[in-house]
Amino acid sequence: MEAVRISNDGEPMRTTIPAFLTALLMVIPVRAEELGAWVGRLASRNVQISAGLWDMGTGKLLEGHQPDLALIPASTTKVVSTYALLKTWKPNFVVETEVYGDLKGDTVRGDLVLKGLGDPLLTTERIYLLAQELKNKGVLRVTGRVRLDQSAFDGQRYGRGWENTTSDTTPPVLPLSVNFNRDDRGRIVADPERLAVEVLTRVFREAGVAIEEQPVKAPAEPIKMLAVSSPPLRDLVQDINKYSNNFMVEMLVKRFGDGSWPRGVRRIQDFYQSLLDLGPEKIVITDGSGLSKDNRLSAKTLAIVLRAAWNDFEVGPEMISSLKVIGGEPWQLSVRDANLTRRVRCKTGHLTDVNCACGILQTPEGKYRVFAILLNGESKPEDVWELVSHWAN
């Protein structure tokens, strides 16, 4: 039997492994008993499993069970979507909200029109900054009302496949959305556009811009007065992955597709086909958040994406830092294994009968591993972390 190793100058060299050592390597899989017992317990509950642990440096599979099996990935899908967004748009990318009106002196004659382009973090606090931008341009009065332009996105407000999952936990997605389309108590509102107009009008008035709401005829061609930017993509991705914010990533996926979910998803698939030779049969997704149970990813696919991000000098630091750090966040996580403190960075995913996690761990010896675990069936998050703890310790 021949093995390949790399010489100091990077060239492959073939060496022969003695027959007795070949046999030894074939019959003693590393820690197979522990993994086998874990698989057996889950199999007794009819849980489907795709799991694997890979060496970060070489990409070699160290241990796993059906790592090529594509299963429902839940929110681990966000690893796939956010890396594609970061790599394509770059970490400094921003999404603008445009403001139009007929400004004469200190007065906007007619309506003040805000055109949304998909800013996923247009909150009340940032609207106060927008109001200050208006005042900096000299605006003190609007004779008409605040009006929204939602033409940047198509009419699809919910992702494909959300009807069979927890879609009631995610608001409708519109290009201009205020406070994630939720009220002051965090509840999804029935009329998000009314909410946006009410918040914008109130904040502008509080900031000293009079909104008179007179029935004044708007100019034929509204004039662009200014554009305000979202936080940079690096910050948006941090919020998406650490808090698993479905709404924010779906806003960006629609923007990625120029207002269309299918185009945004297809562009993500094309990205992975080009960069990592992962065809659409490997990146089977209908959304960017993982809410849809039509999505299918394997442990191996997730590991390939994470390993690519780890080795990506351009955007890898931003991507890896967006993952949750076990024992290292300023808020409490459900995983409280002291042995994992600051040694695991991960993205988790949960739907009914779906529990998943993928990420990067550091062994006690300081070696880096990439892992992914997808469980479909009657499982619990503890089942996932039992294996992570086994691999990390």
Distance (Å, whole) CA 268 – CA 257:
9
Per-state percent for the chain, helix, strand, coil, to nearest 5: 35, 25, 40
pLDDT at 337: 82
Q: Which of 305, 173, 297, 318 is nearest to 234 (CA)?
A: 318
Residue 319 neighbours by CB distance under 10 Å: 26
Residue 264: half-sphere exposure toward Cβ, Cα within 13 Å:
28
pLDDT at 338: 85
Token couple for 67: 């790592």
Asked whether 345 and 333 are in contact (CB, 8 A), the reply is no
Distance (Å, whole) CA 302 – CA 51:
10
Distance (Å, whole) CA 380 – CA 42:
10
Residue 182 neighbours by CB distance under 10 Å: 16
Residue 22 neighbours by CB distance under 10 Å: 13
Report the range of poorest mean pLDDT among 28-32, 92-96, 367-371, 373-377. 28-32
Confidence of residue 342 (pLDDT cuts 50, 70, 90): very high
pLDDT in tens, 359-374: 999 999 999 999 999 9
Token couple for 380: 């619990």
Asked whether 335 and 386 are in contact (CB, 8 A), the reply is no
- The pTM of this model reads 0.89
Average pLDDT, the chain: 90
Identify each DSSP E strand in the chain by its residue range.
Answer: 2-6, 12-16, 48-55, 61-65, 70-71, 96-104, 107-116, 141-142, 146-149, 210-211, 224-229, 297-298, 324-325, 344-351, 354-362, 368-376
pLDDT in tens, 283-331: 999 999 999 999 999 999 999 999 999 999 999 999 999 999 999 998 8
φ and ψ of 16, to 5 deg? -100, 130
Confidence of residue 3 (pLDDT cuts 50, 70, 90): very low
pLDDT in tens, 4-30: 333 333 333 333 333 333 332 333 333
Q: Has residue 351 got a pLDDT over 60? A: yes
Burial class (CB in 10 A: 0-12, 13-18, 19+), 133: middle
Q: Which of 272, 274, 276 is nearest to 285 (CA)?
A: 272
